[in-house]
Amino acid sequence: MAFTHTPELKHMSGPEKMYRKVPKKAQVDRKRDSSTGLALKSKALAIGKRDLFSPTRSPYQFLARNAGPKGVPAMNLFRAESDDDDEESVSEDNQASSDESDWYEGKTLFAEVPDGPAHHKIDSLATVEKLRESFARHATRIRFELSQGFGQALDHVLHIHSLFQDSVDPNIQQGLNQYRKASQDSFRLQTKARNILQTRMDENQDTLRELFVELRLAYIRRDKLWDKLESDVQDRIDRAKLTFDALDDGLAKTSISLDKRSKALTNESTKKKERDGVLKSLLGKL
């Protein structure tokens, strides 16, 4: 079951009066005339879009005029927040009542589109001219809504900027100054420690170079002393060999002389005993 717009249902409110059930016969007529209706709708929408987004108009022209639709006072973009709330509530009420009146009075875009069987002799330009006023009215309303939204957004941005300037920016600046001071102090301490460490490292490197030179000289002296020790030991070994050889000869000679002396002493002892025996025998006789 299809639905179509019925302007005769005045007792309905809002979008409800846009639709009603259509019999099958009417559906067949609607399908037959759909091409003509779509062509008219497309042309009307194109002309309305041209008037709404005309390249000769500035997109911020509504801000320069600073005025709303008929019956709505001029808007101050820099009004207080309390005025924003009051005007917003009034604007919403006016918008709701205007929408309802448009639906009841048949001033909507759907009401402007011809209903029923298409007539080939319909003046397209006249239809477009009828739609022009509706598009212009809606364009004015859209501009007013955009100006309201832009004004509220601008007030909010200005308020946030003032909050940043009063509370956030000083704290951030103070924090950045403290961080900068702490960073500079830390940099000075680190630079001082690095300089001290570099000085000590240079001194240690000089000391290590001197120690390596002394160690190299000590190795040279050790090699010389080792060579001298080997030479002295070899000389002493040679002298000891000569001494031992000479000692062997002396010992042999001494041994021979001792043997001779021992034999001589033995002979003398024998002779002494014989003398003692003779003396004893003589004394016994006496």
DSSP state letters, 100-118: HHHHHHT-SHHHHS--SS-
Which pLDDT value is given to residue 189?
A: 95
- Backbone φ, ψ for residue 4 (5° rounding): -145, 165
Task: Report the distance separating Cα 45 and Cα 128, nearest Å.
Answer: 9
What residues of the chain score a pLDDT lower than 70?
1-123, 268-286
Query: Is this model's pTM higher than 0.85 or not?
Result: no
Q: Please write the tens of the pLDDT for every residue from 238-269.
A: 888 888 877 777 777 777 777 777 777 777 66
Which pLDDT value is given to residue 127?
A: 78
Which pLDDT value is given to residue 1?
A: 40
Q: Please write the tens of the pLDDT for every residue from 207-242.
A: 999 999 999 999 999 999 999 999 999 998 988 888
